């Protein structure tokens, strides 16, 4: 069987630029073949066509009998690819990078570490095994890229400008773990994720509790109390106001947390990969675009839900302690919280992740992508204004309807987003 076969392969980019025209050749296993030509001759485009990163405009190609345009993940599983622009993770050491990419190809951490150390020794990088990639020179990075391409013992090796400087579930799990570690190790991102929940779940609720304890006759709160179901049966004005804050006002403030966390995580996960030039390397793993998309969305969603649940636990603990010390009794969260935590929050989190991901192809930087998430907060602000003015008072039935609507929108956005993602679209700058 021919290792590589090209039949009148052509590629014309949007705008009419012809990069490759009617290339035909066949290569047997064991052959070494090189493309020579000036910049713009189509060498990189041909490699991307052979690895499924681009779709041919005309003609076809086969790699070990598989069509890269139809089965790119099958091609990636049996090939190693080194390109000039596909980078790895600066926050990881050389060996950590290799173990991560090995796990994507279904290799165990132990075997990946052994294989990685052997490759680092062969490529004269043994002394830099535990150094962060950020400290590597250009030549060292290029040699590590070669080690990464060889980590799974590929049958074919594609080298694009080499001198310039599996089991799907386990691979998806490796991507998920890597995204978690990346966010936690980024002090700026992690600080933002911690500060906002801290303010919304500890500082703000505590201020509100102190206000109702020391100034219980506030006329605005009195108006809101009149809207409460069973307001006439309230035994204590202070307890009624505490219940109002706990079960009606704070749940809406709380919705800002999953929106913010999922947006930050999604922006870091998708746009951050593009900004660091690590996305192309990741796309050469033996997973389809949909599987990579799902693992990225799942990582952002799970991290958001984890922060959301921890925030709720911290808020409940602090508030119950304050209620007991100031009012002499505990106040349990109501049905609204159940709907917020297990229906509305997951739904709005998925919506936020999907919208950030959909815009990742156009966003140039993480900050640009995160700015888009500001618009997701506006509906929550409108609901809060409605609550405080008495125009709209959310009860469990309204929250149930809102949650189901958001869940439907999240499902619709996810479904449509997975259809439109392609290698070429993700790599477009």
The predicted-structure confidence for 243-267, as pLDDT tens digits, reads as follows 878 888 888 888 889 988 888 888 8
Residue 107 falls inside a structural domain? yes
SS3 361: coil
233 pLDDT band (50/70/90 cuts)?
very low
Same domain? 412 vs 382: yes
Residue 172 falls inside a structural domain? no
Of 85-89, 140-144, 222-226, 362-366, least confident by mean pLDDT is 222-226
Same domain? 325 vs 419: yes
Q: Residue 232's pLDDT is what?
A: 41
Residue 171 falls inside a structural domain? no
Contacts of residue 161, Cβ cutoff 8 Å, sequence gap at least 6: 44, 83, 84
Q: Out of 39, 70, 101, pick the residue that ends a domain.
A: 70
Same domain? 265 vs 368: yes
Residue 383 falls inside a structural domain? yes
CA atoms within a 13 Å half-sphere pointing along the CA-CB vector of 84: 10
Handedness of CA 55, 60, 63, 66 (dihedral sign): positive
Residue 266 falls inside a structural domain? yes
Task: List the beta bridge partners of residue 4.
Answer: 27, 63
pLDDT of residue 397 exceeding 60, the answer is: yes
pLDDT of residue 7 exceeding 70, the answer is: yes
Running DSSP on this structure, what letter comes out for residue 26? E
Mean predicted confidence (pLDDT) in 24-39: 87
Q: Edge-to-edge strands of the sheet including 4-12? A: 18-27, 4-12, 58-63
pTM above threshold 0.75: no
User: What is the CATH classification number for the domain harbouring 89?
Assistant: 3.40.50.300
Same domain? 348 vs 399: yes
Residue 313 falls inside a structural domain? yes
Residue ranges making up the domain that contains 15: 4-70
Same domain? 197 vs 256: yes
pLDDT in tens, 164-202: 554 566 677 888 888 888 888 888 878 878 888 888 888
- State how many domains the chain has: 3
Same domain? 307 vs 375: yes
SS3 171: helix
pLDDT in tens, 269-293: 777 777 777 877 777 777 778 888 8
What the block records as the tokens of 427 is 């790599």
pLDDT in tens, 350-382: 998 888 877 765 666 666 666 666 677 888 888
Q: Out of 30, 53, 70, pick the residue that ends a domain.
A: 70
Q: Residue 293's pLDDT is what?
A: 83
SS3 274: helix
Same domain? 233 vs 107: no
What the block records as the tokens of 112 is 């990946």
Output the DSSP codes for 230-272.
Answer: TGGG-S-HHHHHHHHIIIIIHHHHHTHHHHHHHHHHHIIIIIH
Same domain? 239 vs 321: yes
Same domain? 145 vs 207: no
Same domain? 90 vs 211: no
Of 82-96, 160-174, 346-360, least confident by mean pLDDT is 160-174
Q: How many whole angstroms separate alpha carbon 64 and alpha carbon 28?
A: 10
SS3 content of the chain, % helix, strand, coil (to 5): 65, 10, 25
Residue 173 falls inside a structural domain? no
Same domain? 236 vs 307: yes
Residue 283 falls inside a structural domain? yes
Q: Out of 47, 70, 93, pick the residue that ends a domain.
A: 70
Residues in the chain: 429
Nearest C-alpha neighbor of 151 from the set 174, 173, 132, 182 = 174
Same domain? 288 vs 388: yes
Running DSSP on this structure, what letter comes out for residue 18? E
Q: Residue 313's pLDDT is what?
A: 93
Q: Residue 368's pLDDT is what?
A: 67
């Amino acid at each position: 069987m021919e290792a590589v076969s090209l039949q009148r392969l052509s590629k014309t980019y949007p705008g009419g630029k012809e990069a490759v025209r009617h290339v035909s050749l066949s290569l047997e296993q064991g052959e070494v073949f090189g493309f020579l030509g000036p910049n713009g001759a189509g060498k990189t485009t041909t490699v991307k066509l052979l690895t499924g990163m681009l779709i041919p405009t005309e003609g076809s190609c086969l790699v070990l009998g598989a069509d890269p345009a139809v089965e790119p993940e099958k091609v990636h599983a049996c090939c190693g690819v080194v390109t000039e622009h596909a980078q790895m993770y600066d926050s990881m050491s050389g060996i950590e990078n290799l173990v991560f990419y090995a796990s994507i190809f279904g290799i165990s951490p132990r075997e990946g570490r052994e294989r990685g150390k052997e490759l680092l020794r062969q490529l004269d990088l043994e002394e830099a095994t535990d150094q962060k990639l950020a400290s590597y020179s250009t030549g060292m990075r290029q040699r590590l890229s070669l080690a990464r391409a060889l980590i799974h013992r590929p049958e074919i090796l594609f080298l694009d400008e080499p001198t310039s400087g599996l089991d799907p579930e386990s691979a998806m799990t490796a991507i998920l773990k890597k995204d978690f570690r990346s966010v936690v190790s980024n002090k700026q991102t992690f600080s933002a994720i911690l500060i906002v929940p801290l303010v919304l779940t500890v500082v703000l609720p505590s201020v509100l509790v102190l206000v109702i304890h020391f100034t219980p006759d506030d006329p605005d709160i009195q108006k809101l109390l009149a809207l409460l179901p069973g307001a006439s049966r309230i035994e204590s004005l202070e307890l009624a106001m505490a219940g109002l804050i706990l079960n009606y006002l704070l749940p809406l403030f709380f919705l800002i947390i999953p929106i913010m966390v999922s947006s930050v995580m999604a922006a870091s996960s998708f746009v951050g990969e593009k900004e660091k030039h690590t996305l192309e390397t990741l796309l050469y793993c033996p997973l389809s675009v949909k599987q990579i998309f799902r693992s990225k969305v799942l990582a952002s969603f799970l991290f958001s839900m984890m922060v959301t649940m921890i925030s709720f636990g911290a808020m409940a603990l602090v508030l119950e302690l304050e209620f007991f010390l100031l009012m002499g009794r505990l106040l349990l969260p109501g049905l609204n919280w159940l709907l917020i935590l297990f229906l509305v929050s997951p739904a709005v989190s998925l919506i936020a992740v999907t919208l950030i991901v959909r815009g990742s192809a156009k966003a140039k930087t993480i900050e640009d992508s995160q700015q888009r998430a500001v618009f997701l907060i506006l509906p929550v602000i409108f609901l809060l204004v409605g609550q405080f003015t008495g125009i709209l008072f959310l009860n469990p039935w309204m929250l149930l309807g809102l949650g189901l609507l958001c869940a439907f929108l999240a499902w619709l956005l996810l479904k449509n987003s997975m259809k439109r993602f392609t290698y070429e679209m993700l790599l477009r700058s």
